[in-house]
Each structure stands twice: as structure tokens, then as C-alpha cells.
Amino acid sequence: MPATSIDHAQDAARQVLVEQRSRQLLDAAARLMEREGSEAVSMQALASEAGVSVGLIYRYFGSKDDVLLAVILQVLDAFAVEVPRAIQAAGDDPIRRLAGAFAAYCRVIDEHRHAAVLTYRESKSLDAAGRERIKRLEVETSEPLRAAVRAGVESGALRASDPDLVAYNLLLLAHAWALKHWYFEKTMTLENYISAQVALALSAVIAPTQKRKYADLLSPS
């Protein structure tokens, strides 16, 4: 194998290791901060939770605030990737694109439940620049969902005087899976939750002439 190919393979392997280690640290931080609160969490406590040395943590993050910001950004980064992907996979129908976007939000929330809760509870601990960055990215990552609602209204399939309100209601329903997971997990799976919430949300805004076309979404089995 040529030297350049070996170098590229080694670089790729190192990058995978960095990503895996970073995810390990962020997952541990999310669990610990949700349990104890960010103010009570030290870098030593985080090291113990993650099963690594404090020195290793400082190789990735300069401070506890950097860790908290990274935990929240991890969720927003996942939204930025998974929601457009789900919309694309749903095809051209605006209502199915909307349902796909909502499902993707819920699945990201499920994968990052501890971090999603921290977004609500601890983002106030960030400095002003960090809070503004989170707000900006939240608006950016919600745009595909808002666009799907607008497309549904423009097609006549949805009746909504304020598409943004519909979109943000859906976002809150997605986050509720994390915020009230302790309750919902008693009676339903994530997929049950997604289907039930899609049916509930669409029933309020779907045009009557479209109900038969989307019967599978409005009355999930």
C-alpha cells in the first residue's frame, strides 16, 4: 500500500476514535448533568462517570461550559443531518414529508434523551454567546419542518393560518418524549408515540377533503 494510502487510513482510523471518544464523553456528561445539575458537576466527576482520566477530558474540552455546550450542540447537529434525510426519503408528498420530519425529530430526541432534557434545564448556564448560538441553530434546524408545514398549506392539504405555530407545536411534542419519557414509556414504544402524535397533530389541521388520502396517518394501527 502506498505511503499516502496508509496515512489516509491511519487518519481515518484516528478520526473514528476521536468521534467515538467524544461521543462517550458527551453521553456521560449528559447523564451526569441531568442527574446532578451542571453546577454540581466537576471535571473529576465527569471523568469518573465516563471511566476516563481528567487529562483525557481536557484533551477534548477546555472547560465544563465547553462540555455543556457540546452536549447540546450534539443534538442540534443530529437534527441537521437526520431531519432533511428523513424528508428526502419520504418523497414528494408534503404531508408524508411532514410526518417523516416529525418522526426524525422524535428519533433524535430518543437517542439523546439526557441531552435534550439538559437543553431545557441547563442552557441558561451558558454564556451569552453560547445561548445565542443555540437559539440560532434551533431556528436553522427547525426550518425543514417549518418548510414542510408551509408546503402542506400551499398544496391545500393542510389548513393552518400560522404554519410556524404548527411546526413549533410538533417540535414541542417531539421534545415531550424526553421530558416525559418516565411516563410515556410505561404504555408505549417510541414508534407508538410517533404514530399517535402524528395522528393527533394532523387531525387538527388536515383539510377534510384529504382525510381519506392520509387515513393511515390519521388512524394508525
DSSP string, 165-182: HHHHHHHHHHHHHHHTHH
Name residue, grid cell 387515513: 215
Please report, for the chain, the start and end positions of each structural domain, with discontinuous segments joined by +.
1-62, 63-218
- Report yes or no: 32 and 115 within 8 Å, Cβ to Cβ: no
Tell me whether the CATH fold assigned to 1-62 matches the one assigned to 63-218.
no
The residue among 23, 1, 60 whose CA lies nearest residue 9 is 1
The residue among 34, 37, 33, 60 whose CA lies nearest residue 46 is 33
- The whole model's pTM is what? 0.81
Domain 1-62 bears CATH identifier 1.20.1630.10:
no
- Walk along the chain (221 residues) and give the pLDDT tens digit of each residue: 455 654 444 444 445 445 677 777 777 877 777 777 767 677 888 888 888 888 888 888 878 788 888 888 888 999 999 999 999 999 999 999 999 999 999 999 998 888 888 777 777 878 888 889 889 999 999 999 999 999 999 999 999 999 999 999 999 999 999 999 999 999 999 999 999 999 999 999 999 999 999 999 998 76
Exposure letters 25-64 (e unless 16+ CB within 10 A, then b):
bbbbbbbbbbeeebeebebebbbebbebeeeebeebbeeb
Q: What are phi and psi of 93, to 5 degrees?
A: -70, 125
Grid coordinates belonging to 87 = 424528508
Q: What is the CATH topology of the domain spanning 63-218?
A: Tetracycline Repressor; domain 2 (1.10.357)
Interatomic CA distance for residues 124 and 72, integer angstroms = 12
